[in-house]
């Protein structure tokens, strides 16, 4: 149905939910106020009637039951502001006298306590009264005291008060509407600012979203900026890959073409070997750039199970290097997940373990641990290690394959690229009689 259609904006949704809720709660409060007002008024009247009956009883006992000696008439009306009746076998006093048709039946009634008379038909008396009756004896003389209240006047006063409460409630509802509108508008101002920033981003005026936003929007802004960073990095990687391929492939292809186009030179063994080496260089460069192009980098919703992947890689490398021992140390549970794309983590662990297995003498140790804001991978081998002077150059990007340290070239360069994209840290240490130790730390 049309009136049940969901509002298109957040502001409309909030107003559609909060306004009816606020009006409904105010209406319930008004109804509860009416019920409580009636109950409290009745209890207050009953309490006053009891107190006035007790006062009359005290006056009568002080007069030793001589009712005719009491000051009646205006005196009690000025004190009580209520109608009353005092009855003994010799005298009956009813004030005001017009209330006699209402109070006379209560005198004859044998029931004490709170009594109510409704729908009285006498035009000179109230139609609805509340009375309190008490009977007692003084020197064996029975006495009945009744004090009564006009509930009609009380109800009229309550109705007037309740009507003023309704007026105040309506004013409060109007104030509530204004406060809700102002509060929602003020709260949605960062959304408007973010919308304007997105428009400027779309128009190319800015390259990143940098606006003051509430805490609830920080993850959204962060993920948008990370997405932009990822897109820029992919574009940069594509351009870098094309530049690397153009630089690395052009010279070998030119050399091979020159050899093939020279009809005067026979293809001897030496030339065939040179051509094979050039083609091998091209193949390795293509493989390296293709592997780099598959790296995902930080992705929302992507995660990996480090222990499962580590066990699978260790099992495979154990078959590849049967004479080597691969050991895993970790206190993490099997279902522990890291916010790293599965292929990226596989490349990191695979390259580190493969290099360690290639250069170790007998044993490779893998340590996986996690802190509150830190995830660490440590791979240690017992091989010959690397000179301390060459540690800083391990895995540096931009180096040609033939300029890399033997055995630690392409694989560590790939690892360094991945760690950099995740804003992590990689470090190399050469421990005496322990070979090379590679430590990777992720801070996400």
- pLDDT above 90 as % of the chain: 8
Q: What residue has token string 């170790």? A: 360
Give one word for 345, left, alpha or beta, with left for phi > 0 and alpha for psi -120 to 50. Answer: alpha
The confidence score (pLDDT) of residue 343 equals: 83
Q: Where are the domains of the chain?
A: 13-156, 230-293, 306-442
CB atoms closer than 10 angstroms to residue 368: 21
CA distance 134 to 114: 9
The confidence score (pLDDT) of residue 408 equals: 44
The confidence score (pLDDT) of residue 314 equals: 92
The confidence score (pLDDT) of residue 403 equals: 40
Low-confidence ranges of the chain (pLDDT < 70): 1-8, 69-81, 120-124, 237, 239, 241-251, 265, 267, 271, 284-301, 395-410, 431-433, 444
The domain made up of 306-442 is a member of CATH 3.30.565.10: yes
Residue 341, classed as helix, strand or coil, is coil
Of 279, 203, 194, 292, whose CA–CA distance to 242 is shortest? 292
The confidence score (pLDDT) of residue 327 equals: 92
Give one word for 113, left, alpha or beta, with left for phi > 0 and alpha for psi -120 to 50. Answer: left
The confidence score (pLDDT) of residue 353 equals: 92
Of 409, 411, 408, whose CA–CA distance to 351 is shortest? 411
The confidence score (pLDDT) of residue 440 equals: 92
CA distance 45 to 48: 5
The first and second tokens of residue 246, run together, are 């153009």
CA distance 295 to 315: 24
The confidence score (pLDDT) of residue 89 equals: 83
Helix, strand and coil percent figures for the chain, each rounded to 5: 55, 15, 25
Residues 45/152, Cβ–Cβ less than 8 Å: no
Residue 88 has phi, psi (to 5 degrees) of: -130, 170
């Amino acid at each position: 149905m049309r009136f049940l259609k969901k509002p298109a904006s957040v502001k409309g949704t909030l107003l559609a939910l909060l306004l009816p809720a606020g009006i409904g709660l105010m209406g319930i409060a008004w109804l509860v106020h009416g019920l409580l007002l009636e109950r409290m008024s009745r209890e207050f009247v009953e309490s006053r009637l009891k107190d006035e009956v007790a006062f009359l009883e005290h006056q009568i006992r002080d007069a030793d039951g001589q009712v005719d000696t009491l000051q009646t008439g205006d005196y009690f009306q000025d004190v009580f502001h209520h109608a009353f009746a005092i009855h003994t076998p010799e005298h009956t006093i009813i004030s005001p006298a017009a209330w006699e048709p209402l109070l006379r039946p209560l005198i004859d009634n044998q029931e004490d306590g709170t009594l109510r008379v409704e729908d009285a038909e006498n035009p000179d008396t109230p139609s609805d009264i509340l009375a309190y009756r008490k009977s007692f004896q003084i020197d064996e003389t029975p006495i009945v005291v009744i004090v009564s209240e006009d509930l009609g006047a009380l109800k009229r006063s309550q109705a007037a008060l309740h009507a003023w409460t309704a007026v105040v409630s309506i004013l409060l509802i109007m104030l509530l509407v204004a406060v809700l509108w102002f509060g929602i508008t003020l709260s949605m101002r960062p959304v408007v600012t973010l919308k304007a920033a997105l428009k400027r981003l779309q128009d190319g005026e800015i390259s990143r979203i940098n606006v003051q936003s509430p805490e609830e929007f920080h993850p959204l802004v962060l993920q948008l900026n990370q997405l932009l960073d990822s897109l820029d990095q992919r574009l940069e990687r594509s351009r870098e890959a094309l530049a690397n391929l153009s630089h690395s492939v052009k010279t070998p292809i030119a050399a091979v073409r020159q050899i093939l186009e020279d009809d005067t030179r026979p293809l001897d063994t030496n030339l065939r070997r040179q051509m094979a080496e050039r083609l091998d260089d091209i193949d390795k460069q293509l493989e390296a750039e293709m592997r780099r192009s598959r790296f995902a980098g930080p992705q929302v919703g992507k995660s990996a199970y480090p222990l499962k992947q580590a066990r699978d890689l260790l099992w495979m490398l154990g078959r590849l290097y049967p004479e080597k021992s691969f050991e895993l140390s970790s206190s993490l549970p099997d279902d522990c997940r890291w916010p790293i794309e599965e292929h990226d983590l596989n490349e990191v662990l695979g390259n580190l373990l493969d290099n360690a297995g290639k250069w170790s003498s007998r044993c490779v140790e893998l340590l996986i641990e996690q802190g509150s804001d830190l995830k660490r991978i440590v791979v240690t081998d017992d091989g010959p290690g690397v000179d301390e002077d060459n540690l800083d150059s391990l895995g540096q990007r931009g180096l040609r394959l033939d300029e890399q340290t033997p055995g630690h070239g392409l694989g560590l360069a790939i690892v360094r690229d991945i760690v950099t994209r995740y804003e992590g840290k990689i470090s190399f240490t050469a421990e005496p009689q322990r070979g090379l130790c590679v430590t990777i730390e992720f801070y996400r």
